[in-house]
Structure 1
Amino acid sequence: MSADAMAGPALFIGDDTAYVALVRPQLDPSDPDLVRAAQEAGVSPEDFAGPGNVWALLTEHDGEGDGFELPGLRDTEADGFAEQLQAAVAAAEPFTVEAGDVLHLDGAPAGDGWAFTARVNPPEGHEVAAWTLTTGPVATADLLADLEDFRRTLA
């Protein structure tokens, strides 16, 4: 499917090689690639696209990616996580913010930005054990702008 087929709020923390992302994908049922895929699957494009209201946590580190759905997460909880992260970054002190039991994010100043250590604990039923990943520095101005954009998409 084309990149335009996907929408929805997304918060990526890290860089191209190591990140943790909180996303709520929403597929566009009118995208030609999605229509074709739905036809191949024998379902309507709307059924193929799904409800677009299930959050997921995605990670990548050293070329290894993983992720899982967070079906109980609500937009208000995702916004609360982003709000806590925004306040912690503005305070300019090392911090830990949590997204329920699945993500503990430690932030520490690193030059003109922040380095993060994410402890990821998949929910029951996920076959992979908990893992930890560390990101390179993220510029403070970029991080704050991303957080603001993310929160705006949830408003």
Structure 2
Amino acid sequence: MTLIERLKDEQKAAMKAKDKPRLGAIRLALSAIKQREVDEKITLNDDDVLAVLTKMVKQRRDSVAQYEAAGRQDLADVEHAEISVLAEFMPQPLTEEEISALMDEAIAATGAASMQDMGKVMGVLKPQIQGRADMGIVSKLVKTKLG
């Protein structure tokens, strides 16, 4: 079952259960996926859908930080709820040890020796890690390893 099919099935289940917050989050995800398909005139595969979901989760995390800084916990709670719904459709997050092992493999595979080779390392890592770890954190780890 593809990720889009799973989202549509969960949308139907949320409708039947009258779970409005869950339904809203799933509809937002399906809408973002459809928007990208229309804009690029393509049909998204699971990796592309995962990229859309990852972007949505990142946007919501940024919103949570802004809402909490402004003292709007009510809005932050809504964003947290959407993050938890979207996270159900993403793969298991990687542990620090797994990320470190993948980084070591990528550095060895590319022969990276300095910061100038960071792009090569990130190019190898991104498809393996996308949706399973925060790319900003991975980028910082690669910088410290190469720096």
Higher strand residue share: 1
Larger Rg: 2
Higher helix residue share: 2
Shared fold (TM-score greater than 0.5)? no
* TM-score, scaled relative to structure 2: 0.22
